[in-house]
């Protein structure tokens, strides 16, 4: 069997997954997807040539590489080991690729359990946005045995322009948590800085006129400020509840390593306060509105 044309299964055709799956089917990979609460992407993928499975077990019976793009470790374990799960239907040698942002400790344990059943697990968390997913321009940071990485690389390259093999299983998730600590840390700092600026008479527009194009500018800053300045809700579609999950996973990794992470705790609490107030489904740049409201001000224009 040609490695480039292995049969692919895909579970989780949400914001990121639908673009990834579409790239796989458009580039000639036999694809089976599992039903999703949002039927629209499933129906579009089936119309493009994918098959639909009703359960993870049924999907596993039709695939040799299975991508998971779900919320986190709890959902990964449920879809792998639950009733009618992947493990119940997968043939020996099947590779499960967890593209979620998961807890590395759980990933390493699950990989060992699956190896005992003749199955392989790789972690390939994502860098990028849903718009980049649709264009096949994501990045993937992969933890896998070398021979497993060689098998999954062609399929990953269907939806990613950068695929990096970091090391053994779990290393992808470790790096992803470090990456998200930086990005969510930026979000918390930007929110606090913008709030303080507004309070002392520096508008978001003035703030941006100094930061944009400076050494402090970056892609994350630009999508964050696209919401702040233009009120574009879809500038960065990543929910506060998912951000909180990620920084909580980071905290558990730091605890296990015996490393104090006071800045990480401050970032976690910024997100936790917003989620506790019922803002969990807001997107990350909207953290700025929550921090501002806590200080009795608004960052929105006077329009």
Instruction: Give the percent of the chain with pLDDT over 90.
Output: 94
CB atoms within 10 A of CB 2: 6
Domain boundary among 134, 151, 168: 168
Do 7 and 154 belong together in one domain? yes
Q: Phi and psi of 225, rounded to 5°?
A: -75, -20
Q: Phi and psi of 52, rounded to 5°?
A: -115, 135
Write down the catalytic residue from 57, 153, 174, 176. 176
Number of domains in the chain: 2
Question: Does the residue 91 lie in any domain?
Answer: yes
Do 195 and 214 belong together in one domain? yes
8-state DSSP, 159: T
| Residue linked to tokens 């990350």 | 284
Q: Is 199 a catalytic residue?
A: no
Question: Does the residue 255 lie in any domain?
Answer: yes
- Arithmetic mean of pLDDT over the chain: 95
Do 93 and 10 belong together in one domain? yes
- 215-258 pLDDT, tens digit per residue, is 999 999 999 999 999 999 999 999 999 999 999 999 999 999 99
Q: What is the dihedral of CA 274, 279, 282, 284, to 10 degrees?
A: 10
3-state secondary structure of 46: helix
Do 202 and 73 belong together in one domain? no
pLDDT at 2 over 70: no
Do 155 and 214 belong together in one domain? no
For residue 246, the domain's CATH number is: 1.10.1040.10
Domain boundary among 121, 141, 168: 168
> Which residue segment(s) compose the domain that 198 sits in?
174-294
Domain boundary among 168, 196, 225: 168
């Amino acid at each position: 069997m040609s490695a480039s044309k292995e049969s692919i299964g895909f579970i989780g055709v949400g914001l990121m997954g639908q673009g990834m799956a579409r790239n796989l089917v458009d580039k000639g990979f036999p694809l089976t997807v599992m039903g999703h609460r949002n039927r629209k992407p499933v129906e579009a993928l089936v119309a493009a040539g994918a098959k639909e499975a009703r359960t993870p077990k049924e999907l596993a019976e039709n695939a040799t590489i299975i991508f998971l793009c779900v919320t986190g470790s709890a959902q990964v374990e449920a879809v792998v080991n639950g009733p009618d799960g992947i493990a119940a239907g997968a043939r020996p040698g099947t590779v499960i690729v967890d593209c979620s942002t998961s807890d590395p400790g759980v990933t390493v344990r699950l990989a060992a359990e699956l190896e005992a059943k003749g199955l392989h697990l790789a972690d390939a968390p994502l860098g990028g946005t849903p718009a980049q997913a649709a264009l096949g321009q994501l990045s993937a940071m992969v933890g896998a045995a070398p021979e497993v990485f060689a098998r999954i690389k062609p399929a990953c390259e269907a939806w990613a322009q950068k695929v990096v093999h970091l090391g053994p299983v779990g290393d992808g998730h470790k790096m992803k948590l470090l990456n998200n600590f930086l990005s969510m840390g930026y979000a918390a700092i930007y929110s606090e800085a913008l709030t303080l600026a507004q309070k002392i008479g520096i508008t978001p527009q003035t703030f941006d006129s100094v930061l944009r194009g400076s050494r402090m500018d970056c892609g994350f800053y630009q999508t964050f400020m696209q919401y702040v300045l233009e009120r574009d809700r879809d500038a960065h579609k990543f929910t506060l509840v998912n951000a909180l999950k990620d920084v909580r996973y980071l905290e558990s990794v730091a605890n296990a390593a015996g490393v104090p992470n006071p800045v990480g705790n401050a970032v976690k609490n910024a997100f936790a306060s917003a989620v506790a107030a019922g803002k969990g489904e807001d997107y990350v740049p909207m953290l700025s509105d929550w921090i501002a409201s806590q200080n009795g001000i608004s960052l929105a224009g006077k329009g």
